[in-house]
Structure 1
Amino acid sequence: MGLTFLRDDPLPHGAVEDTAPGVRRVVCDNPSAFTFRGTNTYIVGRGRVAVIDPGPVDAAHLAAILRAVEGERVTHVIVTHTHRDHSPGAAALVAATGATTYGFGPHLTPPEAGGEGGDHAFRPVVAVPDEGVVEGENWRLTALHTPGHCANHLCLAMADNGVLFSADHVMSWSTSVVSPPDGDMADYMQSLARVMARDDRVLLPGHGPAIRDPKPFLAGLWAHREEREGRALAALRRAGTATADELVGPVYGPLDPRLVRAAGRSLLSHLIKLEREGQVISEADGQWRPC
């Protein structure tokens, strides 16, 4: 099944839109090869509200969030995962509003163990476990622990309107980087299967526009991941031995130079998964060979 990414997202940075019933969106002006146009911050409810993923430390984005909730009270700041484009802005938002922070927990991989890209400073006041509920006076969210892209990643479901905040587990504009050791491809696929088994009507990702027909998109994403893994295994069999970085060209073809290293990290995660399944073997100096 084909996968068509959604890259039409005209919402201006700092503006606010009603993106789903009871949900507003503000896009941070932090575009990059990994964040698309920027990080989506979501405001849930009216009056006493929750803010999901306040983004990076960015004064203009903080001001845009506060403008969007003028006359209301922010009671909850919820972080889906501790990457530096999602959680560092929580501190300033809490200082401005007095809200309480919620999330699965701190970043699970320390810097010395390869936890690159992690916000190691964020620690939620309230830890939210899998299936844990976070609620306010006019909204209710149920957490789904969905490791893979990040070990402490949460999706958040609003059962009353069929919305799932899919954050960086399922993005609309691109696949997610899965970088070991904090990223794990086997976990990612298990988490994806969990989301596919649901009947959400709309997915609200961490970057890019809403996914308003989730079933075919998720099926396409699953097939896309399986195809890439198949290409990696086939390329390794042709090469005999190779590093993950050496497989980037054969698997991906021509690629934006900014994405080459990330592609190698995701391929490494595929190889680790394949090794667990008994299909490849890791050797010295980062080399891999097929069984």
Structure 2
Amino acid sequence: MSKKPITADLRLIDSHCHLLDEPLFSKLPEVIQAAFVSGVGAFIVPCSHAHDMAVLANLLTPYPNITPAFGVHPFYVHELALDDALALLRQHLEAYPQALVGEIGLDWADKHLSDANRLLQQDFFAAQLQTAQQYQRPVILHYRQSLDDMLAVVKTQQFQYGGFLHGYSGSIEQARPWLQLGFKLGLGSVLLKPNARKIYQLLPHLTSSDYVLETDAPYMVSSAMNQAYNEPKFVRAVAETLADFYQCAWQDIAAYSSANVASVLKPSCREE
């Protein structure tokens, strides 16, 4: 992996953290400050529930270093009718031209998933992806045992604005078509787990333009954190772990990740 110059004011970006979820939300100033002390200066925050959209919007003035992602997670598609959820999504995308669409996707991990829920997830994913295409926004994608199914939808819709594959854990063969479509692989706190063999098998095949750093805070807790929940400050540990693997400085990893985030966000920053 090649080196590149770094700047003294370089800050890490947590490209996926759930600041709306407890225990982070109730002590957000402390969480943001702890992250800043660790070198983390910006946060991409996805919604999970439809009602998260208004809550997240209210954070953007006091915390201008938050980039929002509005959408409905596949776990919660049953909470609101699709038409109503799409109306909320469009409302927030129109109000916030910097916003992504997310966290959206498909989750087939539950062996007892009903056919009705599977169809509902598919309807929500296709419709939210189409909305992202309409508003020219990148997406944040959640998947479990559904990566190929999601790729088929993305290709069918000819989606053009890329995004982030959250918590990537697939093979390099599965990753290549996503990378070709402008997506970046989210590498996060799973790297801090001693038994994360699958992700370490992937790392030798990645280039510095393939990934972004994330925590999924407050989830994806590792024993290395010495606390009961994850925080954005631990993206520094993710960067240091990758730096150890690639034999470079963590600031280099931060620079690569930040450049990759910027390459995805660029379409959503155009004047509308």
Q: TM-score range by the shorter chain?
A: 0.3 to 0.5
More helix by share: 2
Which of structures 1 and 2 has the larger relative contact order (alpha carbons within 8 angstroms, sep 6+)? 2
Is the radius of gyration larger for structure 1 or structure 2?
Answer: 1
